[in-house]
Structure 1
Amino acid sequence: MTERGFTGAGVGRLEAWHPGAERPGLDTANVADITLTRIEGGWRLTGNTACTYRVTKN
């Protein structure tokens, strides 16, 4: 995940990593079942995408 977030297109499982101790606030479009899990060094984001999707920090 970049500093601003990311975009993509497709249908399926999404997995990304966000560094840092603070839980990121996210704004998403066309991503369902989002889960943030604390892991060593940051956060693991998982979800399911549909069509064109977007994940940005807020």
Structure 2
Amino acid sequence: MESMEALFEKIEVLRKELITTGLIYGFTAPKTLHKSQELDELLNLLTNEKEPNDLEYV
């Protein structure tokens, strides 16, 4: 498994891509929904790696 720092970095990059894609194509466009699903997968990885009380919200 990759480091937590790398996972946080990927999440942040994908979050910015999701926002940009949503603003360009619309928030219900297939491209945007695909980005959202990718982000969900990474967030699920993060959640499974840490206990809920250990999560830090930035």
Whether TM-score is above 0.5 comes out as no
Which protein has the larger Cα radius of gyration, Structure 1 or Structure 2? 2
Greater relative contact order (Cα 8 A, min sep 6): structure 1 or 2? 1
**TM-score normalised to the size of structure 1?**
0.19
More helix by share: 2
